[in-house]
A and B are shown apart, each in its own frame.
Chain A
Amino acid sequence: MALSDYLITDDLTIILALVAAGLFLLHNLYKPQALVHPILLGRQSDAARVRNPSESAVYRNYGTGMLGRFPLRPNKDQQVVLDLVKPDADAPRTLWSTKIANPQLKERIANVGAGLTRAVGLVPQESNVLLLLNDSIEFIIADLALSALSVPTFTVASASVLSPVLERHPPSVIITDAEVLPHLLELIFDAHESEHHTIVVVGDINSAKLPKLNNVKILRWDDIETEGAAATKSPLSVPDPNDVYTVSFFATPSGDLEGAQLTHLNLTAGVAATRALLPPSSAMSPLDTIVSAFPLSTPYGRAVAYTALFEGTGFATVDSTKLIKPEGSAAIGLKDLRTSAAYSISSPTLLFIRPDHLDSLTEAITQQASKSSWSLYNFAWRHKLAGIFEGYITKQSLWDRLVFDGARIKVMGKGAGTVRAVIVSGGPLEAQNLTPARIALSVPVINAHSHPLVAGPVFATHALDLQTFPTASPSLSASAADAYAFTYLAPVGPPTVNVEVKLVGVDDAAVEDGGDPIGALHVRGPSVGRPLSVEEETQEEEERGWRSTGERAKVAANGTFKVAPAGKA
């Protein structure tokens, strides 16, 4: 038979050919477009052209560049922390359970400031006030009032640091909660000090049975506020942005007490960096509601709270931020996240949470989704994962409507519809948990890195970055902890817009050969606070301001970092 006999075409051929052509076009051209072009993800930080021996180059965010200036504040009007409460924004919003607008907030701040000065006799720049409050609007009011009075505030990141702080840095006044008061009085009693303490208590103390102490004067917050409202307020001098306005005490991994001295400039820069976490197309606005798992007593938590304050969003924190955790409480995971519902904020839109919250949220959603229909769930998962490999994720796809939306509503309630971005920090996040979280939530999940010295994030991934790298074989590293971290943890992205980092103690030979630099992480920038343990600064411009974080990090060729959490020294 001739060749032409084989190539018989008939009507069926035409139909099949059309269908084949249609499928070809569908398969090759109907690919979802990546949310961010991959070329941008290949160069996420800008590296210096020269590096010192045994150090890596200095890295900055690519948007800022080595020659760019760091943003110091969200707007030129925000010079000191009190300016973050914008006077002309008068729409009310809910902070924890209080609905308040900025002018009323500023009034309350002024009242408390005047009341404290009268009742306690604070001397600007000399007195110190210890804020031992759980996260609440009183914390913010007290902090801002004292910043306006130029009285430094002390905060403790955890209750374990409290007794060393009382010992070594005795404050003039302590402002505390009725919940924390018994614990505090116990500590003072045990210390057998003869120093006179003045304690201002928020909340109802009549019902509590308190030990009687002679050297302790207890005042009530409500009394102070009403007194201050009645008093005439003299205009206060505006503090210098470089004045230390708060010190946050925390414990280093080796157990020592360390304090981060934060100036007004550190906090405004931290707010600028936190705002830059979200892309400009989906920036924060007064329509948002932020739920944070980071206590206000830490610089990062404070920066998040003040960003919420500045943007006019609603704000609440979860129960694990409390100083003294109540007995039998679930301090991690989904149960902790749900405690924010106790406040009267609207449904959250932005979540600043820890890896354990993200993991348990993802697990709950995927379990719920797979319960409905196992084969449909697998199908949906498969398609969503294929989309992620193309760099694309959306909450409005067919698979969400069929499978995931129902699961999300069961797990997150109203949050299923409102949560639009999740920022994870405060602990190591494993790479294998990140992609399932992205699929389950289908919103931008930003992996960030925070440090007790820095107001605001230190590193943060690009909001629309969906790259999934295979788990590489563990390479030789100095320690097992390093090897585990750099193999299994998710990258935390480039430095934020106003932080520069360098790695110290790198192997020069390996780096000159093209290997990834690995070393101890040092940071510098306007949002980095000054540790109390650093007494003198070196005079040289090049060396000044570098703070050791105590963590080890590794840079990849695309400018993203992986940080191994600080272990015991």
Chain B
Amino acid sequence: MAFDLGTPVNTALLLYILYSIQRILFPSNSVPQIVPNEFKNGYTWMPKSHPPTLLYQTFTPKTLAYYNGEDGKRILLAIKGVVYDVTAGRNFYGPNGMYANFAGRDASRGMAKQSFDEEMLTPIDQPLDKLDDLTPEEIENMKGWMEHFSSKYIVCGKLVENDAI
């Protein structure tokens, strides 16, 4: 019988069969030179970036004020010299949040006295609030807030005076 398939359909199917057989019997052995960034694209893969890690930095009131959450920036706030990254709580501390006053500022007095008013914040160019006139209960309250922040958000720096750096 002559090996004449006669029809394009049969030829196409035959070619496909030969191609499949070739792929099954002679699988590819080349290591892909570009490592994929998703596990869907290959068994050997590498994530695009490292897990996010913040650098522990030293802030002054002036440099801290920059991070008030506007234009998608990070939101930081400080209590008693410890700077917390509260970007995860953008609803509260972001530009339209209830506690937006605290963004980028030293919130120690406000945390102690449980108030979000403007009077609780010291202006940026003045020395840091010494918190001398707080009662022991208020200091306890502030420490409680510090613990809450330490567990919920990330400690990412310390706050020092404007002229300390």
* B and A form one assembly: yes
Whether the pair A468, B46 counts as a contact (CB closer than 8 A) is: no
Whether the pair A467, B43 counts as a contact (CB closer than 8 A) is: yes
Contacts A6-B8, A470-B33: A57 and B53 contacting too (C-beta < 8 A)? yes
Whether the pair B155, A50 counts as a contact (CB closer than 8 A) is: yes
Those of B15-47 within 8 Å (CB) of chain A: 16-17, 20-21, 23-24, 26-29, 31-33, 35, 39, 42-47
**Interface check A480, CB cutoff 8 A:** no
Q: Return chain A residues, CB-CB under 8 Å to B35.
A: 469-470
Complex Cα gap A446–B26 (Å): 29
Whether the pair A558, B46 counts as a contact (CB closer than 8 A) is: yes
Contacts A12-B10, A386-B27, A557-B49: A23 and B17 contacting too (C-beta < 8 A)? yes
Whether the pair B26, A47 counts as a contact (CB closer than 8 A) is: no
**Interface check A236, CB cutoff 8 A:** no
**Interface check B48, CB cutoff 8 A:** yes
Interface pick from A14-22, A179-187, A398-406: A14-22
Contact flags A1-19 to B (C-beta < 8 A → 1, else 0): 0000011111011001101
**Interface check A389, CB cutoff 8 A:** yes
Whether the pair B7, A470 counts as a contact (CB closer than 8 A) is: no
Whether the pair A557, B43 counts as a contact (CB closer than 8 A) is: no
Whether the pair B33, A8 counts as a contact (CB closer than 8 A) is: no
**Interface check B51, CB cutoff 8 A:** yes
Q: Return chain A residues, CB-CB under 8 Å to B20.
A: 20, 23-24, 26-27
A29 to chain B, nearest CB (A): 12
Q: Return chain B residues, CB-CB under 8 Å to A468.
A: 31, 44
Whether the pair A12, B5 counts as a contact (CB closer than 8 A) is: yes
The chain B residue with its CB closest to the CB of A23 is: B20
Q: Return chain A residues, CB-CB under 8 Å to B55.
A: 50-51, 53, 508, 512
Q: Return chain A residues, CB-CB under 8 Å to B156.
A: 50
Contact flags B93-120 to A (C-beta < 8 A → 1, else 0): 0000000000000000000000000000
Whether the pair B45, A38 counts as a contact (CB closer than 8 A) is: yes
Contact flags A49-73 to B (C-beta < 8 A → 1, else 0): 1111100110000000000000000
Whether the pair A556, B46 counts as a contact (CB closer than 8 A) is: yes
**Interface check B54, CB cutoff 8 A:** yes
Complex Cα gap A543–B56 (Å): 15
The chain B residue with its CB closest to the CB of A34 is: B43
A47 to chain B, nearest CB (A): 5
Q: Return chain A residues, CB-CB under 8 Å to B165.
A: none
**Interface check A555, CB cutoff 8 A:** yes
Q: Return chain A residues, CB-CB under 8 Å to B39.
A: 37-39, 41-42
The chain B residue with its CB closest to the CB of A435 is: B31
Contacts A16-B17, A51-B56, A470-B32: A26 and B44 contacting too (C-beta < 8 A)? no
Contact pick for A382, options B10, B27, B32, B33, CB 8 Å: B27
Contact pick for B29, options A38, A42, A386, A511, CB 8 Å: A386
**Interface check A43, CB cutoff 8 A:** yes
Complex Cα gap A395–B31 (Å): 22
A440 to chain B, nearest CB (A): 16
Complex Cα gap A42–B51 (Å): 11
**Interface check A383, CB cutoff 8 A:** yes
Those of B36-92 within 8 Å (CB) of chain A: 39, 42-57
The chain B residue with its CB closest to the CB of A28 is: B20
Complex Cα gap A485–B9 (Å): 55
Q: Return chain B residues, CB-CB under 8 Å to A20.
A: 13, 16-17, 20
Contacts A13-B13, A20-B13, A386-B28: A557 and B57 contacting too (C-beta < 8 A)? no
Whether the pair A50, B24 counts as a contact (CB closer than 8 A) is: no
Contact pick for A470, options B23, B31, B155, CB 8 Å: B31
Whether the pair A382, B8 counts as a contact (CB closer than 8 A) is: no
Contact flags B124-160 to A (C-beta < 8 A → 1, else 0): 0000000000000000000000000000001110000
Whether the pair A23, B21 counts as a contact (CB closer than 8 A) is: yes
Contact pick for B26, options A382, A391, A512, CB 8 Å: A382
**Interface check A516, CB cutoff 8 A:** yes
Q: Return chain B residues, CB-CB under 8 Å to A12.
A: 5, 10
Complex Cα gap A48–B53 (Å): 7
Q: Return chain A residues, CB-CB under 8 Å to B47.
A: 42-43, 557-558
Complex Cα gap A501–B24 (Å): 44
**Interface check A161, CB cutoff 8 A:** no
Complex Cα gap A508–B57 (Å): 12
B103 to chain A, nearest CB (A): 19
* Other A-B pairs, 18, CB within 8 Å; known A17-B13, A26-B24, A49-B54: A6-B8, A8-B9, A9-B9, A16-B10, A23-B21, A37-B39, A41-B39, A42-B46, A48-B53, A50-B54, A50-B55, A51-B54, A56-B53, A385-B29, A467-B45, A469-B44, A514-B49, A558-B46
> Interface on A for B, CB 8 Å cutoff?
6-10, 12-13, 16-17, 19-20, 23-24, 26-27, 34, 37-39, 41-43, 46-53, 56-57, 382-383, 385-386, 389-391, 466-470, 508, 511-512, 514, 516-517, 555-559
Query: What are some 8 contacts across the A-B interface (CB < 8 A)?
Result: A6-B8, A20-B20, A23-B24, A27-B24, A43-B47, A50-B154, A57-B51, A470-B33
Counting from the closest, the 8 A-B pairs by CB-CB distance are A386-B27, A23-B20, A16-B13, A38-B39, A391-B43, A467-B44, A57-B53, A557-B47
